[in-house]
Amino acid sequence: MSDATELVQRTERARELFFNQGHTPSDGLAPHISRSWTRSRGAGVWAMEPTPLSACALAERKEASRLLLESAQPELDALAEHAIGHGCVVIVTDAAGVILDEIGSPDFLPKAQRVALLPGVDWSEQRCGTNAIGTVLVERQALAVLGGEHFLSGHGGLGCAAAPIFTGRGEIAGVLDISGDAIRIDGHTLGLVRMASQQIEHRMMLARATGDTVRFHANAAVLGSPREGLLTIVDGHVVAANRIALGLLGLSWRAVLDQPVEQLLGQRWHTTGRDAVPLTLAGGQRIVVSRQARPSRPARQVPSTRQDVQADVGADARSSEAPEDSTVARALQQAVKVIDAGVSVLVTGETGVGKEVFARRLHAASQRRAGPLVIVNCAALPDSLIEAELFGYDEGAFTGARRQGAAGRIREAHGGTLMLDEIGDMPLLLQTRLLRVLEDKTVMPLGGGRAAPVDFQLVCATHCDLAALAASGRFRADLMFRVNGYEARLPSLREREDKVVLVRKLFAQAGGQGHRLSLSDEALQRLCDFSWPGNVRELLAVLRTLTALAEPDTEIGIELLPARIQSAAAVASPAGVHDSDPALRATAATPLADLTHQEIRSALRAADGNVAQAAARLGVHRSTVYRHLRREAR
């Protein structure tokens, strides 16, 4: 008899005794199920009457849990692949058990709708009886509820695994859940949500930190990862701690919060800095500790994956074009994880969106930030020179070669990051050589010298559609798959959500602050409404011109803006519409949401319904297309 069959039989016997004969829950049930059945019967939950919140009320709930949702988004995207492959949905709720967001398999979504696994529905025990979400809120631990273990018989086909998401003060911020058919949920699923919840807690705690952040663990290699212990220290007292810290200290939140840090880490904690220092706890346990002082500024909503293991994301990454848009921030978080795992990152987007800036930030936040960052623009070098520039050459390899030869940019990137900008313009012959370097981890200089071993992480960037180039034979398909381990698509300036903040920031950095200049509200609006075909690069050039021409201590009005911006403001394109495309320009009067639906439907038709191919055409994650399909089905 299989374990699953035995569980079903035990649960059926327990239901017979409990619901039909009035006995106490059977010993065959997990303790958390027994306790929850008793609570559910006491609460009189005999039927579920789902009444989803109104769109306005749900929006308010989401706004109240914005940090939770932003911190959870990378895990939702990461778990989406598992959910889609196993016919499940991934759910995040607030602290009351109200579903805020979900993503997953379109095959299971109709069933999820039938049982009211929908945004805006309350899945607390008081409303739904025993279920993973509601029971986690009471039990405060990760757990699974399978099939007949649910209190209500209508949920008997469901399997759910969920984990609580805690704040640094020990309060539950929400629940992360994976739900599907009961046979789809197992111990592996429970492990996934447990691990993902800790990663969300790690991001939230770093984002909320207002004092010193102390990182510690028994293993120095864990520092900077979601598996590290975290303490937030204000005026020498602990104001927040994550669960891993509590486990390492062997204490509870009650015993740790608001206590002097010396009582926990000893007097030597003051000697710690960014460099890890070994300490011995009172019980004899040896740990490694680093401390980061938090400057007196508001914490960012969502930190980078390795936020402030180094100074922010590196001074050289604080370019005036540094991306702040939430889409870019999420892409950076994902890219750091991927590149630290040894997978190449491909940065895509229109010219001028800041692909090089993104690569600099990615390098500064990666594990190889101490190594060199070497950037090569493949479109800026003549075909006759790019091979020597990349691969190096020996003495006398060709006419005009340096007497000592040259190492080449690839060898210069050893131990760090190599960025190949505009890789779509790399000649085919060099694509073949690059592929060999990536596979063999060695580089052969021109002139037949000895092959040199190389070790670097690779970031490529392009404004081209590499898949289309590969289909036309202008780009090697095997190289495309190699460099596109993870695609980070940067939005155009038209699509960015932070245009007002970005314009103000770039204006100040372009000279506005130094010359004590300001933008009128009308001028700021015109700048935000313009379509900016050259993206951030074009915007920055315009702002530098404005600050150069304006008299100090003045306000810049509409009349000082370039004529093309003044005249184009009245017919500015909606986000995502390219002025140069007549077909898209004709749709400018179409509401943005409808335009998005049209583009997704067109991509799906062109891909014959293949979601992965449609997502690739649109330059989005397949989970975005699945979300669209879910909305269409409602």
Split at pLDDT 50, 70, 90, the class of 139 is very high
CA dihedral for 482, 433, 416, 424, sign (positive or negative): negative
Q: Which of 267-276, 473-482, 486-495 has the lowest mean pLDDT?
A: 267-276
Split at pLDDT 50, 70, 90, the class of 133 is very high
Q: How far is CA 83 from CA 87, 155, 514, in A?
A: 6, 19, 52
Tokens of residue 315, six digits: 């001074």
One CATH from 1.10.520, 3.30.310, 3.30.70, 3.30.450 for 209-292: 3.30.450
The more confidently predicted of residues 310 and 508 is 508
Computed over every residue of the chain, the mean pLDDT equals 80
**Is residue 298 pLDDT above 60, yes or no?**
no
Q: Measured in whole angstroms, how far is the alpha carbon of residue 124 from the centre of its chain? A: 28
pTM beyond cutoff 0.95: no
Q: Angle CA(86)–CA(87)–CA(92) in degrees, nearest 5?
A: 95
pLDDT digits (tens, 9 = 90+) for 378-431: 876 665 566 777 887 765 443 344 444 567 788 888 889 999 998 988 888 888
Q: What was the pLDDT predicted at 353?
A: 87
One CATH from 3.30.450.40, 2.40.50.100, 2.40.50.140, 3.10.520.10 for 33-205: 3.30.450.40
CB burial readout 112-146, b (16+ within 10 A) else e: beebbbbbbbbbbbbbbbbbbbbbbbbbeebbbbb
Check if the beta carbon of residue 306 is closer than 8 Å to that of residue 199: no
79 vs 189: CA distance, rounded Å:
10
The more confidently predicted of residues 249 and 579 is 249
Radius of gyration, CA atoms only, the chain: 28
The more confidently predicted of residues 297 and 309 is 297
Q: What was the pLDDT predicted at 457?
A: 94
CATH code assigned to 590-633: 1.10.10
**Is residue 444 pLDDT above 90, yes or no?**
no
Check if the beta carbon of residue 358 is closer than 8 Å to that of residue 314: no
Split at pLDDT 50, 70, 90, the class of 498 is confident
Please state the domain extents for the chain.
33-205, 209-292, 315-489, 493-571, 590-633
Average pLDDT on 584-594 reads 36
Q: Which of 8-17, 337-346, 349-358, 447-456 has the lowest mean pLDDT?
A: 447-456
Average pLDDT on 443-453 reads 75
Helical axes 592-606 vs 622-633, angle rounded to 10° = 110
pLDDT digits (tens, 9 = 90+) for 85-118: 888 899 999 999 999 998 877 777 677 777 788 8
CA dihedral for 540, 542, 546, 549, sign (positive or negative): positive
Q: What was the pLDDT predicted at 251?
A: 93
Which percentage of the chain shows pLDDT scores above 70? 80
Q: Decide yes or no: CATH 1.10.8.60 for domain 493-571.
A: yes
Q: What was the pLDDT predicted at 57?
A: 81
Average pLDDT on 428-455 reads 82
H/E element, 102: strand 99-104
Quickly list H helices, 16-92: 31-43, 55-64, 66-86
Average pLDDT on 425-444 reads 86
The phi and psi torsions of 588 (rounded to 5 degrees) equal -60, -25
Q: What was the pLDDT predicted at 594?
A: 43
pLDDT digits (tens, 9 = 90+) for 331-388: 899 999 999 999 999 999 988 888 988 999 999 889 988 888 888 888 766 655 667 7
162 vs 175: CA distance, rounded Å:
7
Average pLDDT on 600-623 reads 66
Q: What was the pLDDT predicted at 173?
A: 94
Average pLDDT on 133-142 reads 96
Q: What was the pLDDT predicted at 336?
A: 93
307 vs 320: CA distance, rounded Å:
20
**Is residue 587 pLDDT above 90, yes or no?**
no
Q: What was the pLDDT predicted at 565?
A: 86
Q: Which of 427-436, 448-457, 599-608 has the lowest mean pLDDT?
A: 599-608
Q: Evaluate whether 33-205 and 209-292 have a shared fold.
A: yes
Q: Angle CA(314)–CA(317)–CA(318) in degrees, nearest 5?
A: 95
Judging by DSSP bridges, how do beta strands 286-292 and 212-217 pair with one another? antiparallel
Which percentage of the chain shows pLDDT scores above 90? 28
Return the closest-CA partner of residue 443 out of 483, 484, 394, 396.
Answer: 394
**Is residue 243 pLDDT above 80, yes or no?**
yes
248 vs 178: CA distance, rounded Å:
28
Average pLDDT on 218-246 reads 90
The more confidently predicted of residues 136 and 614 is 136
Domain 315-489, CATH homologous superfamily name and number:
P-loop containing nucleotide triphosphate hydrolases (3.40.50.300)
Average pLDDT on 35-43 reads 90
**Is residue 128 pLDDT above 60, yes or no?**
yes
**Is residue 509 pLDDT above 50, yes or no?**
yes
Average pLDDT on 497-502 reads 84
Q: What was the pLDDT predicted at 316?
A: 31
Please report how many Cα atoms fall inside a 13 Å half-sphere around the Cα of residue 565, on the Cβ side. Answer: 23
Split at pLDDT 50, 70, 90, the class of 447 is low
Q: What was the pLDDT predicted at 217?
A: 93
